[in-house]
Amino acid sequence: MRLRGFTLVVLPFLLSACGSPAPSVSTTPTPTGPAWVTVNPGRATAAPSVAPSGSYRGGLPPVSYLPTGSACAVQWEQDIEKVMIPMIVTVGTGSIKVQWPNRYGNRYRVTAVRQDLVSGAQPEPVWQTVTTGSECTSGATISGLLSGVAYVVWLDAPDTPRGPDGSRGLYSGRSSIVKPL
């Protein structure tokens, strides 16, 4: 009987130590307009604003090259995070024309990979090698493609600089799905 009385006294303290209070849910509407900072619970306060010095527009501008001809005036959008070579892809009858800025070496590889489902081992892509000169824009036409079939164009710059361990940085481009006419 004595043990039962002790258990009844101690049990509520033990149970309260194991649980945590339920999180509180605020039903206060979120203020609209400029950014807000909560200083006191339940009271929104406007965030301090500091005028930046200088002329910073934010973001990265599109890649452009000094114009020495009409091909050099192309504004290339580049995905800096993925180090993707920007491309312009134009579909033709059974072909795809690919253009890119010539700044990743003098040798490129380009291929069009079919996007239909294949069971088993995937066929190896057939790469076309393109050697460039000093022009601003490089390009190639991939022909012999099936009309209306979905392809993704891959571009690779295999002559980009290598690191001390022999590894090569990722310098490649990829199109969205395109279908030749």
SS3 track for the chain: CHHHHHHHHHHHHHHHHHCCCCCCCCCCCCCCCCCEEEEECCEEEECCCCCCCCCCCCCCCCECCCCCCHHHHCCECCCCCCCECCCEEEEECCEEEEEEECCCCCEEEEEEEECCCCCCCCCCCCCEEEECCCCCEEEEEEECCCCCCCEEEEEECCCCCECCCCCECCCEEECCCECCC
Check pLDDT > 90 for residue 179. Answer: yes
| C-beta of residue 111 within 8 angstroms of C-beta of residue 61 | no
Check pLDDT > 80 for residue 54. Answer: no
Question: What is the rounded CA–CA span in Å between residue 148 and residue 115?
Answer: 11
Count of C-beta atoms within a 10 Å radius of residue 128: 15
Claim: this prediction has a pTM higher than 0.85: no
Name the residue type at position 55. S
* pLDDT tens figures, 102-161: 888 889 999 999 999 889 998 899 999 999 988 889 999 999 999 999 999 999 998 877
Average pLDDT over residues 18-28: 51
The domains located in the chain, with CATH, are 79-174 (2.60.40.10)
b/e sequence 139-154, b meaning 16+ C-beta within 10 Å: bbebeebeeeeebbbb
